[in-house]
Structure formats: structure tokens, C-alpha cells
Amino acid sequence: MDMPLFIIAVVYGLLWKRANWQGAIGGYIAGSVAGGIGQFYFGLDFNITTFITAGVTLVVTPAVTLLTKHPDEMKVETIWMAKISSREEDEQKEIYHIIPTSLSGRLGLGLYAGGTIIFLTGVFLGSADAPAAGFIAVGGMIVYFLGGLWRAYSS
């Protein structure tokens, strides 16, 4: 139930320069409280509660972030500049691109994305009590990790 909370905070931090620790903590706490209330007070299904925690965190994290002090621009820029290749990477011609530039990198990313889709299919089938849901979800995780490994070692 708490995994979406961590993922949401990390994704906001990776993709939004304005994100700060107060927003991440506030979103996590609000999502946790909403999930606890849904699960234990209202007796909602675990899957429904997980979606509620994710939804609350998606809304509260940016709201708290925008209501708190903007982070120091110099620190933010230092962190965001780290996303650009270094001189050492340029000299060795070993630059990691988020969007792959090689066929091997694209195949790895495709395998990674396919594994994610298979995993999520297994999760949704699990909520419908499908007998093969666990096998599908685990198979998707294996494909996901293999795709991630392949992607990590390709450009």
C-alpha cells in the first residue's frame, strides 16, 4: 500500500525542479493517513486503498511543495546539471542517455516497458482473483528487471 507513495515522491523529485523534501514528506504522510483510514476505518479493499493513497499523494505532494519555501536555486541547478554528461563521459564516449540512442538500448527499454505492462496486468488480474495472476506478475517483474539490466549496459 505504501509503494506508490515512495514512487510518487521520487518521480516528482526527478522530473520537477520545484519539488522539495517538505512536499515529499507531506505527500507521504497524507497518503499514509488516507490509506490507513480507508483500510482500517472504512474497511475498503486493499487495491482500492492503494489507489486512494496514490491519488492523495499525487495531489498533496505538489500542493505542499508550492506552499513551502522554494529551494536554493544554486543547489537545484547543481543537481540538475549532474544529469548532463561529464567531460570524462564525453572523452570515453560512454554517455548514458535516458532515451536510448542505440538499437540495443532501445531493445532494452522496450523489454523494460513490456515487463512493466506484464507486471501491471498481473496486478490487475490479481484484483479480479485470476488464478494465474501471481505467475504473470512475477514473470513481468523478471522481464522488467532483465530489460532494466540490459538498458543499464547499453547506450
Q: How far apart are CA 42 and CA 49, in angstroms?
A: 10
Write down the residue that cell numbers 522488467 correspond to: 144
103-155 confidence digits (pLDDT tens): 988 899 999 999 999 999 998 898 888 999 999 999 999 999 999 889 878 76
- Provide CB contacts within 8 A for 137, sequence distance 6+: 118, 119, 121, 122, 123, 125, 126
43-56 confidence digits (pLDDT tens): 998 888 888 999 99
- Percent helix, strand, coil in the chain, to 5, is 75, 0, 25
Domain ranges for the chain, please list them: 1-84, 88-155
First to last CA, the chain: 34
pTM of the model: 0.56
